[in-house]
Amino acid sequence: MAALVIAEHDHLNLKASTLHCVSAALACGAEVHVLVAGHDCEAAADAASRIAGVGRVLVAAGAQFEHGLAENVASQVLALAPGYSHILAPATAYGKNILPRVAALLDVAQISEITRVVAPDTFERPIYAGNAIAVVRSTDPVKVITVRATGFDAAGSGPAVPVTAVEPVAPDGGSRFVARELAASDRPELTAAKIIVSGGRGMGSGANFKILEPLADKLKAGMGASRAAVDAGFVPNDWQVGQTGKIVAPTLYIAVGISGAIQHLAGMKDSKVIVAINKDPEAPIFGVADYGIVGDLFDIVPQLAEAL
Ligand SMILES: Cc1cc2nc3c(=O)[nH]c(=O)nc-3n(C[C@H](O)[C@H](O)[C@H](O)COP(=O)(O)OP(=O)(O)OC[C@H]3O[C@@H](n4cnc5c(N)ncnc54)[C@H](O)[C@@H]3O)c2cc1C
């Protein structure tokens, strides 16, 4: 039994999600191999070879992998699939783009967003916005799994294991890279941030989000938002935390002017320490908060930043 983890990387560095995914693969009790499909990706492959518990790294290198087009990576995974009982990828935009294609072409059911491995064929996954946990058993010959990073610790580092080049598949031809628009930010990316300061509809406007910046600067925090704040156009879409946004579990999550709807909680309730600032003492966010401040955010946030 062997598991293949599809590495998420930028050709130089591995994304942290890959480390969590390796832990899930190890919990399946299988020998774990990591596939690095990329272009000039020796550095990422070298990093993968130093993840504790990994037995082997497979590198598929070619220009067709430069932009991470899902069609090409899925074809590469399919070429390697016959040797594996489990194929795993992080439940990020990257992994969620690739694995459904792999599952469909292998004619198996994808097991999505697992948070625990009960047995090699049995997994836990949240349903109903995290209000219930389903235990699912798969009878498919190969388990195709996306892994919710917050459910598994990041694998540590270990001695380097062999890196083997595999024959890269020909480009799929079904898609073509056109352009990439990157949101430039000096702040940590939300899913990797150790501290997050999030604002909700209570912020009142996009301009008012500026008052969160000194607080986020002091804490070196990433910045997030509720869907109401995103839908109102206060902040960009990629800031959204929640069921239909990003799932985060930082060490500290500060929710400012966020009521705590279940769809928001689904994305952040696994944070280690939750601080809520809200003028409504009945706001549901206080039900999950470790520390709550009842009051006007426009008074409290500057005071908090000042005190820090
Ligand atoms: C299918 C579906 C998926 C969804 N997915 C998501 C998701 O991924 N993420 C998400 O966040 N939501 C999601 N939602 C929306 C969710 O139901 C809520 O509507 C949303 O989270 C509310 O955002 P909010 O807390 O910012 O706004 P509100 O609920 O309007 O809360 C604003 C809060 O700010 C407080 N406030 C106002 N002014 C001040 C002030 N001056 N000082 C202090 N506090 C103040 C108020 O007391 C209130 O509690 C989803 C909904 C559906 C139906």
> Is there an atom of ligand 1 within 6 Å of 227 CB?
yes
What number is the average pLDDT over the span 177-184? 86
CB 223 within 8 A of CB 255: no
263 touches ligand 1 (CB under 6 Å): yes
Give CB contacts under 8 A, 24+ apart, made by 155-160: 155/19, 155/20, 155/22, 155/23, 155/26, 155/51, 155/52, 155/53, 155/54, 156/51, 156/52, 157/50, 157/51, 157/52, 158/50, 158/51, 158/52, 158/53, 158/54, 159/50, 160/46, 160/49, 160/50
C-beta 261 within 6 A of ligand 1: yes
The closest residue, in CA terms, to atom 23 on ligand 1 is 228
pLDDT band at 182 (very low <50, low <70, confident <90, very high): confident
State the average pLDDT for the chain.
96
Give the CA dihedral 101, 105, 110, 113, nearest 10 degrees. Answer: -20
Q: Is 267 in the pocket of ligand 1 (CB under 6 A)?
A: yes
278 lines ligand 1 (CB under 6 A): yes
Span from the CA of 308 to the centroid of ligand 1 (angstroms): 27
**Which residue type sits at 29?**
G
Specify whether the CB–CB gap between 246 and 267 falls below 8 A.
yes
Cα 102 from chain centroid (whole Å): 19
Q: Quick one: which H or E segment has residue 108?
A: none
Q: Which of 79, 74, 25, 73 has the alpha carbon at shortest distance from 48?
A: 25
CA 209, 213, 217 angle in degrees (round to 5)?
160
pLDDT digits (tens, 9 = 90+) for 11-29: 999 999 999 999 999 999 9
What band does 130 get if pLDDT is binned at 50, 70 and 90? confident
Q: Which atom of ligand 1 is nearest to the CA of 244?
A: 8
Whether residue 184 has pLDDT greater than 80:
no
Task: Note the pLDDT tens digit of each residue in 218-268.
Answer: 999 999 999 999 999 999 999 999 999 999 999 999 999 999 999 999 999
Closest residue by Cα to atom 49, ligand 1, is 259
| Each residue's pLDDT tens digit, 131-177 | 899 999 999 999 999 999 989 999 999 999 999 999 999 998 889 99
Kindly report which listed range (51-55, 59-63, 125-129, 207-211) carries the lowest average pLDDT score.
125-129
Angle between helices 70-80 and 93-106 (to 10 degrees): 50
Residue 76 Cβ < 6 Å to ligand 1: no
The bridge status of strand 252-256 relative to strand 273-278 is parallel
* Domain annotation for the chain: domains and CATH numbers: 2-165 (3.40.50.620), 190-307 (3.40.50.1220)
Task: Record the pTM.
Answer: 0.85
Q: Is the pLDDT confidence value at 43 over 90?
A: yes
CA nearest neighbour of 123 among 82, 86, 81: 86
Q: What does DSSP say about strands 291-294 and 273-278: parallel, antiparallel, or unpaired? A: parallel
Helix or strand run (H / E) with residue 143: strand 143-147
